[in-house]
Every structure is written in structure tokens, then in C-alpha cells.
Amino acid sequence: MYYVTCALSTFQRSQTKHRVSQTNTRQSDVLFAADNDKSNEDRQREEELLQQIHKLVETRDFLVDDVEFERLRFVSASMVSSLLGRSPLESGTIGSE
């Protein structure tokens, strides 16, 4: 289960990184314009883009935390299993979900 979670999380992180990059590119045109040159539509678009980036960063943070949790769980299970003289996969400690 650990390896599946890592692969899925890696894919999700890649997709999130790609969306952040695209959003940043679109945002640069709006953000680098002088405030007095921005229309109300530009300001609204800027706010929407900032909200999108905020949501993407939260998603990325969740994925990073999830991968770290799974890594620590695997390491802990491996340590316990090694003390018992079994591999985590053989003992059913990992991958039983």
C-alpha cells in the first residue's frame, strides 16, 4: 500500500505542480501591471488567481504531509518487523489495507 500511495501522491504532486505553474503564468500578466492600470475585471481576475494558488498550495501541503505520514508509517512498521525477524510485507503490517 505504501508504494501505491507514493506513486499516486507523486502523480498528484506532479499534477498540482503543473497547475501552479500554469496559474502563475496567467497571473503574471495581471500582477505585474501597475495598480492604477488595472481594470475592475483585472482586479477580480487577480483575486481569483490568488485564491486558486492558495488552494493549490494547500493541496500540495496535504500531499506532502500524506507522503511523509506514509513514509514514517512504513519505517515504523519496518523497524517493528525487523525486531520480530519478519519483513513488513510478510507480517501483514504493510499492505493489508
In a domain, 43, yes or no: no
Q: 81 near 88, Cβ under 8 Å?
A: yes
Cell (9 digits) for 53? 494558488
Q: What angle do CA 25, 60, 64 make, to 5 degrees?
A: 145
Q: 44 near 60, Cβ under 8 Å?
A: no
Q: What total of structural domains would you count in the chain?
A: 1
Mean pLDDT of the chain: 75
Would the pLDDT of 88 be above 60? no
In a domain, 40, yes or no: no
Q: pLDDT tens digits, residue range 59-75? A: 888 888 888 998 898 88
Which residues constitute the domain of residue 80? 1-21+48-97
21-25, 62-66, 80-84: least confident range: 21-25
pTM higher than 0.75:
no
Residue 38: pLDDT band (50, 70, 90) is: confident
Would the pLDDT of 89 be above 60? no
> Burial, 18: exposed, middle or buried (Cβ in 10 Å; 0-12, 13-18, 19+)?
exposed
In a domain, 52, yes or no: yes
